[in-house]
């Protein structure tokens, strides 16, 4: 029998929408009802589920030791990974484990709030567009929902964060994570720009590369039938770089670069590491030298999972296109000049659809 809320059965999607989206219970609220079956709106079409035969267990994305980051071999490993994989993990990056643990605690604290408290930050109720609690990715546009809740925090200033971000997620600890990570971001961007023959990151380039920061706190609750759904569907990020902190549960998969490319590689959790990936904005700026690669998250049947990506982006008002340094040897531009906020709006307006977003910027 289908699970119920009150005397209503959980079969019809308007009840789901009301309970999960409008009343702020999220998919966490659904999970905590102890459902025995996955509600229909979460059942993904077969082609969007991750079939075990497509997982390549013997492969791994590069793991780069940042302790001697000034060593040219580190820069070469970073540029190589950005070209070939679009994804890598870094260890010995100088962001203390306590800072990482604190932001994980802050994430749990927020998602442990009662629904009505979290719902104060929903799209309809939030005091600002810069703070948003939501579920799935783009529920209005999706045919099947994704098994994830999130809190999205667009960083404008420390003052605004102190005023608007939920106090319970310990603003100072989230801000500390951003501050400490920024140092690593700058090092990585410097290496990646040198690899493109960009000698100096001036103010214009700084804005294009790291003009805005968005942090998401992601919560993937226990799922009654993980094989039928997804935590996050196939997508590439629209950032320049994403820095992702994941917990010890696992479940993130990256599209591999072998054969026809229909193979997926698990990103194993490594205590203290950060996962780095190239986003669409850097793919566009580098005229496809660096690749934003599709990734997805599977749901888990026995454990709750959290992750905390920091999306490092151009400023919304920046125009992005291939950098002049990349084209100076006569290379043909693959992308036109686009307003970054138009690009992001295009991404959010539709369901996850793999690498299709970048077509918006293609010539
Ligand atoms: C949620 O699950 C996700 C998320 C992701 C994210 C991956 C990334 O790479 S995020 C990095 C995106 N870049 C930036 O945020 C920096 C630049 N920012 C901007 O350009 C603007 O701030 C803006 C994001 C375009 C919003 O501008 P604004 O003028 O406020 O526009 P709106 O009309 O309010 O919003 C447009 C459209 O987007 C939806 N939206 C806005 N913010 C979010 C958000 N944080 N999460 C989800 N959706 C958002 C908003 O609802 C509007 O849609 P409508 O349908 O209502 O028109 C990767 C994977 C995931 O699973
Ligand atoms: O949770 C994860 O491991 C990845 C999440 C993700 O891809 C995203 O938020 O863009
Ligand atoms: Fe992502």
ipTM of the complex: 0.96
Test site for ligand 1: of 86, 345, 346, most ligand atoms within 8 A of the Cβ:
345
Contact 313, 289 (CB under 8 A): no
Distance (Å) of CA 338 to CA 231, 290, 294, 324: 30, 18, 21, 15
For all residues of the chain together, what is the average pLDDT? 94
Choosing from 103, 237, 240, 309 the residue with most ligand 2 atoms within 8 A of its CB, the one to mutate for a pocket test is: 309
Q: Which residues pair with 129 in a beta bridge?
A: none
Which numbered atom of ligand 2 lies nearest the CA of 220?
1
Q: How confident is the model at residue 2 (pLDDT cuts 50, 70, 90)?
A: very low
Phi, psi for residue 219 in degrees, rounded to 5: -130, 120
User: Would you tell me how many other CB atoms lie within 10 Å of the CB of residue 224?
Assistant: 20
Express each pLDDT in 216-262 by its tens digit: 999 999 999 999 999 999 999 999 999 999 999 999 999 998 877 78
Give me ligand 3 centre to Cα 57, in Å.
21
Sheet holding 212-220, edge to edge: 63-65, 87-91, 274-278, 241-246, 305-313, 212-220, 149-155, 131-135
CA-closest candidate to residue 189, choices 83, 344, 75: 75
Contacts of 102 (CB under 8 A, 6+ apart): 170, 173, 176, 177
Output the CA 319–ligand 2 centroid distance in Å.
Answer: 26
Q: Which residues contact 145 (CB under 8 A, 6 or more apart)?
A: 16, 27, 41, 42, 135, 136, 139
Percentage of the residues of the chain whose pLDDT score is greater than 90 = 89
Q: Is the pLDDT of residue 1 over 50?
A: no
Any ligand 2 atom below 6 A from CB of 267: no
Question: Structure pTM?
Answer: 0.96
**pLDDT greater than 80 at residue 5:** no
């Amino acid at each position: 029998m289908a699970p119920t809320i009150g005397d209503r059965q959980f079969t019809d999607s308007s009840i789901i929408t009301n309970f999960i989206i409008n009343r702020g219970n999220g998919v966490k609220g659904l999970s905590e009802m102890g459902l025995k079956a996955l509600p229909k709106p979460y059942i993904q079409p077969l082609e969007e589920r991750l079939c075990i035969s497509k997982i390549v267990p013997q492969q791994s994305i590069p793991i780069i030791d940042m302790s001697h980051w000034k060593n040219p071999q580190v820069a070469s490993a970073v540029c190589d990974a950005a070209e070939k994989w679009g994804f890598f993990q870094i260890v010995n990056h100088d962001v203390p484990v306590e800072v990482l643990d604190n932001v994980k605690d802050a994430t749990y604290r927020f998602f442990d709030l009662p629904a009505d408290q979290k719902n104060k930050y929903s799209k309809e109720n939030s005091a600002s567009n810069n703070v948003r609690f939501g579920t799935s990715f783009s529920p209005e546009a999706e045919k099947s929902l994704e098994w994830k809740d999130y809190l999205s925090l667009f960083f404008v200033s420390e003052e605004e964060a102190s005023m608007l971000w939920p106090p319970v997620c310990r603003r100072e600890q989230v801000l500390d994570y951003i501050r400490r990570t920024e140092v690593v971001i700058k090092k990585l961007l410097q290496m990646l720009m040198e690899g493109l023959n960009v000698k100096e990151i001036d103010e214009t380039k700084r804005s294009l590369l790291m003009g805005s920061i968005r942090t998401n706190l992601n919560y993937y609750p226990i799922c009654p039938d993980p094989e039928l759904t997804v935590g996050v569907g196939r997508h590439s990020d629209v950032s320049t770089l994403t820095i992702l902190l994941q917990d010890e549960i696992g479940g993130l998969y990256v599209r591999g670069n072998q054969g026809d490319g229909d193979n997926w590689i698990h990103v194993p959790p490594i205590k203290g590491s950060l996962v780095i990936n190239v986003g669409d904005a850097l793919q566009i700026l580098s005229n496809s030298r660096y690749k934003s690669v599709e990734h997805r998250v599977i749901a888990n049947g026995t454990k709750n999972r959290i992750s905390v990506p920091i999306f490092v982006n151009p400023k919304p008002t920046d125009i992005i296109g291939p950098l002049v340094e990349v084209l100076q040897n006569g290379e043909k531009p693959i992308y036109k000049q686009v307003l970054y906020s138009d690009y992001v709006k295009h991404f959010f307006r539709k369901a996850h659809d793999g690498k299709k977003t970048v077509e918006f910027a293609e010539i």
